[in-house]
Amino acid sequence: MGARANSPRWEIAYKFPAARGITKLNGITVQVGRTGVLTPVAELEPINIGGVLVSRATLHNADEIARLGVQVGDKVTVQRAGDVIPQIVNVAEKGENSEPYVFPDVCPVCGGAVVRESGMVAYRCVNSLSCPAQIRGELEHFVSRHAFDIEGLGARQIELFVNLGWIKAPADIFTLIEKHGEELMNMDGFGAKSVSNLTDSINRARNIDLHRLIYAIGIPDVGEVTAKILAREFGAIENLRNAGSWKLEKIDGIGEVMADEIVSFFHDEHSMQALDNLLKHINIKNPVKVSVENNILKDKRVVLTGTLSKYTRDAAKEILENLGARVSGSVSSKTDIVIAGVEAGSKLTDAQKLGITIWSEEDFDNAIGER
Ligand SMILES: [Zn+2]
């Protein structure tokens, strides 16, 4: 495994060779994710594939089980490639006493009804409000690195706090220490030091970038990239909340299905109650307001020169372009505005000679609504 930096180019194609092995399918269990989707998991007789002991593989969904024709007791071909979850490729040998698998019609975690939405492959537990698997999954997503990034609050702690009834929704995280700090201090595996660390990381998370918030609240299908697009496009959570699907669909990277998901999320009473409760505990750092309409920078030719204290050249350029301005590298009689930072050079002199409007960084701040 060594000498990666020196490995010849042609080896790259073989970096993750798929390895296969044949083993017995001992059983099928079902996991419930944060959106309530039931995912069948193959419980395998442990087998060494390419140096890794594999005892579970994904079966994706009920259709996949039917397609493979796989039954508990069969011998199956398992494939493992790189870091991807191992999967079952085919049935290698029918078992003598293999039994057909019946997909559960109730949630294995909460006993709630299971439905298959029309046109969807997945079965879902309908108990989104009270299914512990969904609540845990939602909270784990909420505290994850690209969301609120709360160190010291991992899957284990979340399970514990959910079971104790201390955390039922994201907002409860921000009152956890206030309400249960003392009990926590005396709990096994905690103590003063870890409670103090947890307090710090929860407090840090109170200041949250808008795109992280959008990602964290778990709108179906909205990942990090989409969250960033939405944050930039809407500039504030309230604007996104009130957006109609027609407006969402016009945005590059948002399709019709996703627009509908977003709108129905923001029309869901439970989700909005949870969001309102959460908003009481956090300060959202909104991206620089982007209002293309009526902005004085719209269609203006702008030149940046010198160093700005709050923005890198790229960031300033992005803001200007988002506001509809055209940023160019050199000053001419067609230039409308020159934004001059510290140590502005010949471009500033040129602008002065041509009588072009010159802005300081403060003028720029005012124009984009930053203070
Ligand atoms: Zn459930």
Q: Does residue 270 register a pLDDT over 90?
A: no
- The CA 32 to ligand 1 mean position distance, Å, reads 7
* 82 falls within a domain: yes
Q: Does residue 264 register a pLDDT over 80?
A: yes
Residue 288 — pLDDT band, cuts 50, 70, 90?
low
- The CA 125 to ligand 1 mean position distance, Å, reads 5
- The CA 112 to ligand 1 mean position distance, Å, reads 5
User: How large is the average pLDDT for residues 292-306?
Assistant: 82
Smallest CA-to-CA distance from 168 within 132, 203, 208 is with 132
- Domains: count for the chain: 4
- The CA 127 to ligand 1 mean position distance, Å, reads 5
Q: Are the C-beta atoms of 1 and 16 separated by less than 8 Å?
A: no
Confidence at residue 2, expressed as pLDDT on a 0 to 100 scale: 36
Instruction: Tell whether 340 and 361 lie within a shared domain.
Output: yes
Instruction: Tell whether 197 and 224 lie within a shared domain.
Output: no
User: How large is the average pLDDT for residues 162-187?
Assistant: 94
Domain boundary among 261, 285, 309: 285
Instruction: Tell whether 193 and 214 lie within a shared domain.
Output: no
Q: Does residue 260 register a pLDDT over 70?
A: yes
Q: Kindly state the tokens that stand for 40.
A: 């069948």
User: Average pLDDT, whole number, for the chain?
Assistant: 88
Instruction: Tell whether 240 and 181 lie within a shared domain.
Output: no
- The CA 54 to ligand 1 mean position distance, Å, reads 27
Q: Does residue 51 register a pLDDT over 80?
A: yes
Q: What is the CATH number of the domain that holds 176?
A: 1.10.150.20
- The CA 115 to ligand 1 mean position distance, Å, reads 11
Instruction: Tell whether 176 and 243 lie within a shared domain.
Output: no
Confidence at residue 13, expressed as pLDDT on a 0 to 100 scale: 44
Instruction: Tell whether 167 and 255 lie within a shared domain.
Output: no
Residue 124 — pLDDT band, cuts 50, 70, 90?
very high
User: How large is the average pLDDT for residues 303-310?
Assistant: 90
Residue 293 — pLDDT band, cuts 50, 70, 90?
low
- The CA 142 to ligand 1 mean position distance, Å, reads 19
Q: Does residue 323 register a pLDDT over 90?
A: no
Instruction: Tell whether 171 and 240 lie within a shared domain.
Output: no
Confidence at residue 227, expressed as pLDDT on a 0 to 100 scale: 92
- The CA 106 to ligand 1 mean position distance, Å, reads 8
For residue 116, count other CB atoms closer than 10 A to its CB: 14
- The CA 195 to ligand 1 mean position distance, Å, reads 31
Domain boundary among 127, 160, 175: 127
Residue 344 — pLDDT band, cuts 50, 70, 90?
confident
Instruction: Tell whether 260 and 310 lie within a shared domain.
Output: no
Q: What is the CATH number of the domain that holds 59?
A: 2.40.50.140
- The CA 217 to ligand 1 mean position distance, Å, reads 19
* 45 falls within a domain: yes
- The CA 38 to ligand 1 mean position distance, Å, reads 9
- The CA 120 to ligand 1 mean position distance, Å, reads 18
* 239 falls within a domain: yes
* 338 falls within a domain: yes
- The CA 42 to ligand 1 mean position distance, Å, reads 20
Instruction: Tell whether 213 and 174 lie within a shared domain.
Output: no
- The CA 61 to ligand 1 mean position distance, Å, reads 16
- The CA 132 to ligand 1 mean position distance, Å, reads 7
Range of the domain at 94: 15-127
Confidence at residue 294, expressed as pLDDT on a 0 to 100 scale: 59
* 5 falls within a domain: no
pLDDT in tens, 87-114: 999 999 998 888 888 999 999 999 999 9
* 294 falls within a domain: no
pLDDT in tens, 140-159: 999 999 999 999 999 999 99
pLDDT in tens, 221-240: 899 889 988 998 898 999 99
- The CA 130 to ligand 1 mean position distance, Å, reads 7
> Among residues of the chain, what percentage have pLDDT more than 90?
61
- The CA 129 to ligand 1 mean position distance, Å, reads 9
- The CA 326 to ligand 1 mean position distance, Å, reads 52
Confidence at residue 129, expressed as pLDDT on a 0 to 100 scale: 80
Q: Does residue 243 register a pLDDT over 60?
A: yes
356 vs 163: CA distance, rounded Å: 66
* 290 falls within a domain: no
Q: Does residue 6 register a pLDDT over 50?
A: no
Confidence at residue 291, expressed as pLDDT on a 0 to 100 scale: 57
Write down the pTM of the prediction: 0.65
Q: 59-68, 223-232, 290-299: which range is least confident on average?
A: 290-299
Instruction: Tell whether 34 and 91 lie within a shared domain.
Output: yes
Domain boundary among 285, 320, 343: 285
* 331 falls within a domain: yes
Smallest CA-to-CA distance from 45 within 9, 8, 95 is with 95
Instruction: Tell whether 201 and 215 lie within a shared domain.
Output: no
Instruction: Tell whether 122 and 20 lie within a shared domain.
Output: yes
- The CA 198 to ligand 1 mean position distance, Å, reads 29
Secondary structure of the chain in the HEC alphabet? CCCHHHCCHHHHHHCCCCEEEEEEEEEEEEEECCCCEEEEEEEEEEEEECCEEEEEEECCCHHHHHHHCCCECCEEEEEECCCCCCEEEEEEECCCCCECCCCCCECCCCCCEEEECCCCCCEEECCCCCCHHHHHHHHHHHHCCCCCCCCCCCHHHHHHHHHCCCCCCHHHHCCHHHHHHHHHHCCCCCCHHHHHHHHHHHHHCCEEEHHHHHHHCCCCCCCHHHHHHHHHHHCCHHHHHCCCHHHHHCCCCCCHHHHHHHHHHCCCHHHHHHHHHHHCCCEEECCCCCCCCCCCCCCCEEEEECECCCCCHHHHHHHHHHCCCEEECCCCCCCCEEEECECCCHHHHHHHHHCCEEECHHHHHHHHCCC
